[in-house]
Amino acid sequence: MADSNELAGALAQMQQQQGPATVNPNMLAQALKMQQARAVPASVMSPGYNDWKAVQDRQERDNVVMSMATAVAPFAGPAVRALKAWEPSVPGALSAQRGAITWHGSPHKFDAFDTSKIGTGEGAQAYGHGIYLAENPGVARYYKDNITMQKSGQVIVDGKPATSEMYDATGGRLRSNDASLQQQIDELQKKAAKEQSRKQPNEELINNLKTWQSNLESYRGKVSTYQPNLYKVDLPDEHIAKMLDWDKPLSQQPQSVRDALAKIDKDFWHPSGGDYDASELGQSIYHRIAASGKTFAEASEKLRQAGVPGIKYLDAGSRGAGTGTRNFVIFDGNTAKILGRN
């Protein structure tokens, strides 16, 4: 590990020129890196700043980033050399981040994205089949809260909503946790025993009670309910650069996207094709691919295989102005990495 004298020297300069330093070496190190990464974990804040988690607005967060980076910029020269071999001993170091910070709101709790679960959240998939991410945390938070409200009280079995058949098979007694399941099982046992003790027991009822009990027992360890979560997600810039832009014409799509489309259908998307139209928008291109395969899921898979990792488009709050924060639809769960939850 490198000697930290250069970092100490940088801090001393700050004290001389700006009064008592309000930062520590960890803060300085993170702030210097932040000039390159433009992302701030809680660990870069001074010890007296206890409300970082409350700072959710993107613009306010960016203002904090820039003011801190500006404060240390004059002293960056000697410190940066030391930082190359000196990692701050704090969790969530910026070196783990590869691209843009995005957000994902979900009624589910998980540690990694799984494309087999696509559609179990909001389910609309209006901008293509995939996992949806947002640059604006407010967008993701809205979906987290709105979807959870819609699905409040629903039982989840093995990660998917319980079906009417499951409720029928348990006499309507399916519950969202093992403790509640056990209560229902105990109650069924008592009812069956009571019916069996009658002089003329109803054998059909007893059989039904036992069947429901057996089916409930098979769901132990598999049931849950919706747990709203907001996920902080790292989406690498290299993938964003290769995405199909929903609102731009073919002529303005990234070169990698145009090359991929030409391979999918030369007649439509290669300049030499008979039906080539340079003004065709990304959304029309996606719908055309979906029409040939019958589903959005097939369109996304065809694009993924051709080297297009997803779709990007302006969110509802930015579409009117034609600029601002974007949403992303990724076709492969491994494209992005979850950095944190709630």
**Claim to verify: residue 277 and residue 238 sit in the same structural domain:** yes
State the average pLDDT for the chain. 77
Q: Which residues of 189-228 are buried (b: 16+ CB within 10 A; e: fewer)?
A: eebbeeeeeeeeeeeeebeebeebbebbeebeeebbbbeb
How confident is the model at residue 103, as a pLDDT? 96
* Two tokens, residue 342: 């709630």
CA angle 238, 240, 245 (to 5 degrees): 140
How confident is the model at residue 150, as a pLDDT? 65
Number of domains in the chain: 3
How confident is the model at residue 149, as a pLDDT? 65
How confident is the model at residue 33, as a pLDDT? 43
User: Residue 101: which residues within 8 A CB-CB, separation 6 or more?
Assistant: 39, 135, 232, 233, 234, 235, 339
Query: Which sign does the torsion angle of CA 190, 196, 199, 203 carry?
Result: positive
Helix (H, G, I), strand (E, B) or coil at 223: strand
**Which helix H or strand E contains 68, and what residues bound it?**
helix 58-72
How confident is the model at residue 152, as a pLDDT? 62
**Claim to verify: residue 300 and residue 184 sit in the same structural domain:** no
Matching residue, tokens 């998980």: 110
**Claim to verify: residue 213 and residue 242 sit in the same structural domain:** no
Helix (H, G, I), strand (E, B) or coil at 69: helix
* Two tokens, residue 38: 């433009």
The residue out of 199, 225, 251 marking a domain boundary is 225
How confident is the model at residue 159, as a pLDDT? 76
How confident is the model at residue 110, as a pLDDT? 86
**Claim to verify: residue 175 and residue 239 sit in the same structural domain:** no
Domain that holds residue 265: 99-151+231-341
Q: Which residues of the chain have pLDDT under 70?
A: 1-98, 119-124, 148-153
Q: Which residues of 254-282 are buried (b: 16+ CB within 10 A; e: fewer)?
A: beebbebbbebbeebbbeeeeebeeebbb
